[in-house]
Homo-oligomer: A and B are copies of this chain.
Amino acid sequence: MKRAHKLVSEYMEKVGSRYTMQKKAIVDELCKVKTHFEVDDFIVKMHQKDNDFSRATVYRVIKQLLEGGFLQKINTKDGKVFYEQNFGDKLHDHIICNNCGRIQEIKDDLVGDLLDKYCLKINFEADYRSLHIYGLCDKCQKKA
């Protein structure tokens, strides 16, 4: 928890932005959430903490955190947008079930390694990636 604050506050300083109450509150909440979430649900949560917390602020801070690499964006096939916090760990790649909507991580370092190698080969300096695989999860296959 402390760690996330430290990371973000250092980042904010680096980019010449203040580490305000609202940003701290958002980082706190992100530490609790851990898994992927929708902006709207997140806004509701922030409202519960503080009725004056504004929609605009959440969007503004999310944008900053995304730029800083503290958040990862997940686009589902049907156009929904999720975010997932990522304080200092590796990026996550995701597998999304079209039927039940379950999102699971790809747990295989080979994937990341291979992509890193590829970027090196073509001389591309990667700073972010988004990998989503859609289909039917094992449970939903059985149902169908």
Residues of A within 8 A of B (CB): 66, 73, 75, 77, 95, 97-98, 104, 106, 108, 110-111, 114-115, 118-119, 122-138, 141
**A108, A130, A134 interface centre (most CB from chain B within 10 Å):** A130
Partner of A135, one of B97, B114, B124, B136: B124
13 A-B pairs with CB atoms under 8 Å apart are: A73-B77, A111-B111, A119-B135, A122-B138, A124-B133, A124-B135, A126-B134, A127-B136, A128-B135, A129-B134, A130-B132, A130-B133, A131-B132
Q: Which 5 residue pairs of A and B lie closest in terms of their CB atoms, listed nearest first?
A: A126-B135, A123-B138, A128-B134, A125-B136, A129-B133
